[in-house]
Amino acid sequence: MPHLGFVAEPRHANRAGVVQGGMIATLADVALGLAARDHDRGRRQATIELNVQYIDTGRIGDFIVASGRVLRETRHIAFLSGAIEANGRIVASMSGVWKIIGR
Give yes or no for residue 16 having a pLDDT over 90: yes
Q: What are 26-55's pLDDT values in tens digits?
A: 999 999 999 998 887 778 899 999 999 999
- Is the pTM higher than 0.85? The answer reads yes
Q: What are 56-95's pLDDT values in tens digits?
A: 999 999 999 999 999 999 989 999 999 999 999 999 999 9
Superfamily of domain 3-102: Hotdog Thioesterase (3.10.129.10)
> Exposure string (b/e) for 37-64, b if CB count within 10 Å is 16 or more?
bebeeeeebebeebebeeeebbbeebeb
Chain center to CA of 57: 15
